[in-house]
Amino acid sequence: MVLLKHSAFPPNVGLADLSGVSKIFYHLRQRFYPVEFADLCTLIDEIVLREHIVLVGKIETTPAQYIQAIQPLINAKVFQILAEPFRPIRTETSSAALLAAAQAAGRDGLTAAMVKDADLEVTRLLGAEAKFGRPATVLLRNLHNFGVNRRPKFEHGVIDLVQRNRRLADDARALHAEIQRNGVPVRGFVHLDVPPLALAVLKNSASFEQVIERILDMRDTASVLRHDTSVLIERLSNPATTVEMHAELIRNWEKKWRKSWDSAIAEKIFICNTSTVFLAKGAELVRSLGDIQSWSDAALKGIALFRDVREATSIDALRPVHTPVRNYLLSSRGQMKAVVSRVFEKDPQVIDALMKRLVAPNSLWRKAFRIESP
């Protein structure tokens, strides 16, 4: 078992909670849960594209059956347990509505995650982010803790303005104009096409018992892609990278993998500049915004909140925000639906109905990820 010190973190490393990740694999062995399935797809992307995933939490207090569910990934050094202590950061659900939605998801069988457990996971992740300067992987099971923080346009806008907080009002207006003109801010937030990694893994799995083995196979197959991803993240993280260079790096990376990847399908994730402190104060920011609709006003609110932590916000990293539910719904010719039905031995119509409940008109997840049905 690998016990990792944070000084060993390469730029392209994931951060997740030991208890939460192990429960995802454990519970999906028992039955199909749409939230856990979406998080599995996110983790497949992360495992294949990252050098490794750092897991925070105490292995000695994690039930043995959960550890057993991810033991092959620990043995392969894909999951590495963080040995260095850190101070957890207390958090709470950002609103009564978010809490109620998370509780309803549990009652309705959309997730196996208990709200209390998810809260504890986030408490550990906030502390690890704040100390080690790496953004945690965004999982649906923890979404009720963050609210608006899941919106990478907003996240980039606030942090970018905090880092260059001269002439704040002018910067806020310029950002707002850029969003209106182009739909997204410039450097720091992009749509990123990636190969359909989760679909490929599940296609090659006869049952869920084979999923981890196929993930490791895919990780070996995609070693060149992973190396290119590490180079891409290192270059995008460089403050000297201009807007034009940023866009060119993304285009070249996608052209390169498309030449070697035998698939006409591409999944989408978002990638954005972020700050550990923003995540730690996400709930507070949500409460402070109230009914503010203007991007510029919201950005200025965020700046006021973070004015006392300028030095901490200089920690800059790239946070990938995966959209597994959207990728499921938009996969061509229903490929993902058929594959998931076979792997989980469940009627495809039942699978589809459960997944579509995550994007119902008033769904917490739909609002947070801005998912649009096909």
What mean pLDDT do residues 108-124 have?
88
Higher-pLDDT residue of 191, 232:
232
Sheet holding 13-17, edge to edge: 3-4, 79-82, 52-56, 13-17
pLDDT in tens, 252-278: 888 888 887 866 677 877 766 555 455
Q: Are strands 317-322 and 267-274 parallel, antiparallel or unpaired?
A: antiparallel
Minimum mean pLDDT range among 6-10, 72-76, 243-247, 336-340: 6-10
47 near 200, Cβ under 8 Å? no
pLDDT over 70, % of the chain: 62
Q: Name residue 271's beta-bridge partners.
A: 190, 320
Note the pLDDT of residue 164: 40
Asked if pLDDT for residue 371 goes beyond 50, the answer is no
* Average pLDDT value for residue range 33-48: 94
d(CA 117, CA 67): 16
Please give the pLDDT value at position 140.
Answer: 84
Of 35 and 329, the structure prediction assigns the larger pLDDT to: 35
Percent of the chain with pLDDT over 90: 27
Closest CA to 16 of 141, 106, 107, 102: 141
pLDDT value for 298: 60
The answer, yes or no, to whether residue 43 has pLDDT greater than 80, is yes
